[in-house]
């Protein structure tokens, strides 16, 4: 079997996240060579191009509309409970001990 071809197949499978763990050592060793690095870059460029062609173009203002809809969604019950517990918890100092309440302002009697 052609070793060069096998190495490129390993690098391709690695870039796709489909390389069996038994072959990782060989693929990582191949990436140390100039040819291995070139193959890695080539496979990622091919993948980037394929993904770019497959994604539809988004309409103007899509990101803003999505952000508005997400902001309007109710919080997940567990997250809402955690946020409420955090808000109700007493303030803590840097050492983790409860923080001292702020001192009351002195009242000066001007009479």
Q: For residue range 9-54, what is the model confidence (pLDDT) as tens digits? A: 999 899 888 999 999 998 999 999 998 999 999 988 888 887 776 5
Is 96 within a domain? no
Rounded (10°) angle between helices 34-54 and 3-15? 40
Is 29 within a domain? yes
How many structural domains are present in the chain? 1
pLDDT at 107 over 70: no
- Tell me which residue range forms the domain holding 49: 3-54
CA dihedral (70, 71, 72, 75) positive or negative = positive
- Residue with the bigger pLDDT between 16 and 90: it is 16
Is 81 within a domain? no
Is 63 within a domain? no
Q: Is the separation of the CB atoms in 50 and 37 below 8 Å? A: no
Is 25 within a domain? yes
Is 10 within a domain? yes
How far, in Å, CA of 7 to CA of 38, rounded?
Answer: 12
Q: Is the separation of the CB atoms in 54 and 79 below 8 Å? A: no
Q: Is the separation of the CB atoms in 23 and 6 below 8 Å? A: no
How far, in Å, CA of 78 to CA of 47, rounded?
Answer: 38
Is 35 within a domain? yes
Mean per-residue pLDDT of the chain: 78
**pLDDT, position 89:** 61
**pLDDT, position 109:** 57
Is 30 within a domain? yes
Residue range 79-102: average pLDDT?
A: 64
């Amino acid at each position: 079997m052609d070793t060069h071809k096998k190495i490129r197949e390993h690098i391709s499978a690695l870039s796709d996240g489909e390389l069996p763990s038994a072959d990782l050592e060989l693929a990582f060793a191949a990436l140390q060579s100039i040819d291995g690095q070139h193959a890695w870059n080539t496979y990622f460029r091919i993948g980037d191009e394929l993904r770019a062609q497959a994604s539809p173009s988004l309409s103007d203002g899509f990101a803003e509309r999505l952000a508005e809809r997400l902001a309007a969604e109710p919080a997940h019950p567990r997250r809402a409970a955690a946020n409420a517990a955090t808000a109700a918890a007493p303030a803590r100092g840097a050492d983790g001990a409860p923080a001292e309440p702020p001192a009351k302002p002195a009242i000066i009697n001007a009479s």
